[in-house]
Structure 1
Amino acid sequence: LSKTMMAKQKLEIEKSRREFDAQERTSKLVLISFFFTLLGFAGLVYAYLKSIKNQRLIAEQKYIIENSLVEKDSLLKEIHHRVKNNLQMVSSLLSLQTKNTRSKAAIEALEEGKSRVKAMALIHQKLYQNEDLSVIEMQGYIESLINSVQSVYRKNGHNIAIEVDTEGVELDIDRAIPFGLILNELVSNSFKYAFPVDDGKGKIHIIIKKSESQEGFFEYSDNGIGLPEDSEDLSKSSMGIRLMNRLANQLQTTLNVDSGVSGVRYWFNFK
């Protein structure tokens, strides 16, 4: 009996030890789980705080960048405004010089110079008025340029229909200025020479197009009397034609001319 009792006690002690060991292992697992949970929570808190700090830094940097862009745009607007005013001053000085000049050739040269200065001033005026200071919307610019030229020649009774087809074309200032000066020469020449008889049928057509690959095409045509027979010799001595060829070189292209009894056509491709 005593052996049986001792065996039972031994089994109970062994059972109690196993239960204790199991409880101890469970407690350790709970403690380890709690530790890792606490560590994970601490990591989440750290990541959250770091995220808030990064968001604050990003917000501050964005604010600084936006302020810098606003200041840059304001400065560029001011520069374009001042350049426009300075060019208008040059135009006024040329006008004063014209009044003090008696030579017809000198007056004509001064008027041509004034017209070219106005063409450049108009670009800076458009940039000053634009939201985007990097490009010129050519349709509006060319229409304004034509109005400026027409205001001079309408005094002499010229009445020419002008069609501008450049909708949606935008050019940066480095290309817009050569385009403006070329067009100023062409429109002025049409008014001065293409229509010696104002029969109300005079037409000018201006086209600037750009493809999806940004390849560009320019065409200017009028239905006037065309170029004179000695136009090749004239091109060597005419400042206007030499100027247009140099401006075309700036655009990395060549100005092509087709002339006949039905008028004249200037054209080139550009990038």
Structure 2
Amino acid sequence: MRENFILKLCILLLFAGKSVAENIDSASVNPGKTVGRLSDLYTKAEQSGTAWPDSLKLVAAQITAEGNRIQDKTAVIRGERYKAQALWRLGSHSEAMKSAIAALANAEKWKMTSEIPDIYAVIGNLHKEKANYKMAFQAVDKGMQAARIAKDTTSIIYMTRLKAMFTQGLGSQENDTAMIHRSLNMHLEGLKIAESSPRFERSRVAYYNNIAQVLVKRKETDQAFFYVKKGIKLAKKYNQLISLTYSYTWLSQIYLQRQDIERSKKYLFKALRITQELKNPFREMEVNRYLYQALEQTNNYKATLAAYTRYIEIRDSLRVLDNVRQIGELQVQYEAEKKDQQIAALGAINNVKTREISWITIGLGLFLILSLFMIFQYRIIARSNRILEENNGKINEQSDQMRLLMKELHHRVKNNLQIVSNLLSLQSNRLTDEDARQSIRTGQQRIEAMSLIHKSLYNQDNVNMVDMREYLTNLVESVMQSFGLSEERFRLILQVDVDELDIDMAMPLGLIVNEWITNSFKHAYQHVTNPELSLKLEMNDAIQLEIRDNGNGMDMKLWDRPGGSFGIKLIKVLSRQLDGQCRVAVDAGTSFTLEIPLPQLREAG
């Protein structure tokens, strides 16, 4: 018996040894070589990260393949994260988000906390590229939390910069100077940490660029120049080509503010060449936007239009608005799946408990029958609720799609009107006849009045209602600027007590305001020492518009004459379109009053 047992044990050990030997690959024979190969690949990935996204994509694939081969979880996560980073730089933002979510899922599943900050950095940047700042801030906060848990100073520096950068971007988008100032303080605090040790030197480049950007917006060119030069020096030292394009962009803006157009163009063309070499379409789009703005101040209309056209082409090809929704949905879907998994785990525990209780209550027949009946009723109710939720979900989805399409429509109309306005501006510069130039400028201002409507609707959640206070303020300021007037030389009184109006009413009302105040700026203030204009919009029993100036007074024959000027004809036609009654009075100036019945009163009439 003992000999048989020993024989069987030897046979088992033999087969076990054979199985183990069959599973040993070259990495097991020489683990040091495998670790060294991964280390080299990580170095290549970091070197290619901001410079060569095509190369980074290839290195990411090699890291993933090696990680799967030797079952290295860190390599699998980093390979997917580097792939997401490469796709982001190449402009494939939806695919980049898919890879970032896959890396995040593995990092959370395997509890690799140290890898999470860099993944959330990619996710946050993807949201930021699409101006989805709400989700960008959520991502950077989660990345900062993970960095602090891991006590990773490099990641803390990175997350601090990202949050400051997102704050700066949101402040610029909302034209909030207080927020932009706060972002500068956040950048300076993060830079202190980055400059506390030589090992964080690479992290300083982006800080220098971001600080320079804020200072450029504040028109503090000397300080901005100081940080830009430091950024260029480090970007070249570490071959951070994407960072170098930002340095050149802010340097060009410094020279633009100093009226040195040639140097401004020089550095923008440098930045453009780098983005084209890197095949980074999103960055190329941004550089073309700055280039168009710089060239606009020259007489090279052909180059100006070419840069603007290229900017529009890239923006539309990237489908910015669609990507905002798709990228957001990918992360929301991942978060929902995590919750579903937690619910499933809790459901499994509940099933075990239910089975235990069932054994105890198996003898209670009457109770069992009652329970089955209740379960049957519950399923009927649950099925009804599920159908109702699905229908509600479809309705909400269709509503969101419709809102998105309407926003896209207003955005495109605004852009098309802006192109027409720019073409008129270019054409007017070529005319020698002052009357013709004035006619084109007048038409351009009317187009601007309509463009502002669509701009306001694009920025509103309700795509059919116009914020009248914002719209009329922007419209009057635009007309003032076109006549070269400033608040120091001109007293403007705006009192808008109407919050929102439907586009069908706001559009003709805006054109009426545009025509009247344009006429005032042309004719009313000749030989007037202290020009003044008052505009009031109120809503009581009716909508009432009043525009008053302190000029020389309008010749009432012009208003009463059947023919009249085109502007007066337009005002009268638009007033009739609104079922409104307009009056003109001359008393120490000219006043124009328009009274429009409310929609419900018009329907009753």
TM-score range, shorter chain: 0.7 to 0.9
- Call closer, same or farther: CA 1:79–1:152 in 2, change over 3 Å: same
1:156 and 1:167 map into 2 onto residues whose CA distance is: 24
SS in 2 for 1:171: strand
2:389 and 2:500 map into 1 onto residues whose CA distance is: 33
- Please report how far the alpha carbon of residue 163 of structure 1 lies from its aligned counterpart in structure 2 after TM superposition: 1.3
CA contact (8 A) 2:559 2:568 kept: no
- Which residue matches 1:226? 553
- Which residue matches 2:595? 269
1:229 and 1:150 map into 2 onto residues whose CA distance is: 25
CA contact (8 A) 1:164 1:206 kept: yes
The answer as to 2:536 corresponding to 1:207 is yes
CA deviation profile, 1:220-254 (whole Å, cap 9, x unmatched): 11111110253246662300000011111111113
1:142 and 1:157 map into 2 onto residues whose CA distance is: 16
CA contact (8 A) 2:498 2:537 kept: no
The answer as to 2:576 corresponding to 1:249 is yes
1:229 and 1:266 map into 2 onto residues whose CA distance is: 12
- Tell me the amino acid that sits aligned with residue 136 of structure 1: V
- Please report how far the alpha carbon of residue 84 of structure 1 lies from its aligned counterpart in structure 2 after TM superposition: 0.4
SS in 2 for 1:185: helix
Q: What root-mean-square deviation, in Å, do the aligned CA atoms of Structure 1 and Structure 2 show?
A: 2.4
1:231 and 1:157 map into 2 onto residues whose CA distance is: 30
User: Which structure features the higher share of helix residues?
Assistant: 2
- Tell me the amino acid that sits aligned with residue 463 of structure 2: L
CA contact (8 A) 1:157 1:198 kept: no
- Tell me the amino acid that sits aligned with residue 88 of structure 1: Q
- Tell me the amino acid that sits aligned with residue 222 of structure 1: D
1:104 and 1:203 map into 2 onto residues whose CA distance is: 27
1:269 and 1:155 map into 2 onto residues whose CA distance is: 29
2:564 and 2:585 map into 1 onto residues whose CA distance is: 19
CA contact (8 A) 1:169 1:209 kept: no
- Which residue matches 1:78? 408
CA deviation profile, 1:16-50 (whole Å, cap 9, x unmatched): xxxxxxxxxxxxxxxxxx99x99987664443221
- Call closer, same or farther: CA 1:156–1:192 in 2, change over 3 Å: farther
- Which residue matches 2:378? 48
SS in 2 for 1:93: helix
- Call closer, same or farther: CA 1:185–1:133 in 2, change over 3 Å: same
Residues 153-172 of structure 1: pairs in structure 2 closer than 5 A: 153-154=483-484, 159-172=489-502
1:161 and 1:65 map into 2 onto residues whose CA distance is: 50
- Please report how far the alpha carbon of residue 190 of structure 1 lies from its aligned counterpart in structure 2 after TM superposition: 1.4
CA contact (8 A) 1:235 1:241 kept: no
CA contact (8 A) 1:217 1:269 kept: yes
- Call closer, same or farther: CA 1:40–1:90 in 2, change over 3 Å: same
- Please report how far the alpha carbon of residue 187 of structure 1 lies from its aligned counterpart in structure 2 after TM superposition: 1.3
- Tell me the amino acid that sits aligned with residue 255 of structure 1: C
- Which residue matches 2:437? 107
Residues 108-187 of structure 1: pairs in structure 2 closer than 5 A: 108-154=438-484, 159-187=489-517
- Please report how far the alpha carbon of residue 140 of structure 1 lies from its aligned counterpart in structure 2 after TM superposition: 0.7
1:47 and 1:206 map into 2 onto residues whose CA distance is: 65
- Call closer, same or farther: CA 1:246–1:40 in 2, change over 3 Å: farther
CA deviation profile, 1:166-219 (whole Å, cap 9, x unmatched): 1343111111110111111111111111110252x22211111112x6x21111
- Tell me the amino acid that sits aligned with residue 108 of structure 1: Q
- Call closer, same or farther: CA 1:80–1:106 in 2, change over 3 Å: same
Residues 25-44 of structure 1: pairs in structure 2 closer than 5 A: 44=374
CA contact (8 A) 1:202 1:223 kept: yes
2:369 and 2:577 map into 1 onto residues whose CA distance is: 67
2:496 and 2:585 map into 1 onto residues whose CA distance is: 21
- Call closer, same or farther: CA 1:210–1:43 in 2, change over 3 Å: farther
Q: How many residues are matched?
A: 233
1:219 and 1:99 map into 2 onto residues whose CA distance is: 35
- Call closer, same or farther: CA 1:42–1:245 in 2, change over 3 Å: same
2:532 and 2:485 map into 1 onto residues whose CA distance is: 18
Identity %: 30
TM-score by length of 1: 0.78
- Tell me the amino acid that sits aligned with residue 504 of structure 2: D
- Call closer, same or farther: CA 1:43–1:267 in 2, change over 3 Å: farther
User: Which structure features the higher share of strand residues?
Assistant: 1
CA contact (8 A) 1:169 1:210 kept: no
SS in 1 for 2:563: helix
2:455 and 2:512 map into 1 onto residues whose CA distance is: 18
- Which residue matches 1:12? none
CA contact (8 A) 1:169 1:208 kept: no
SS in 1 for 2:484: helix
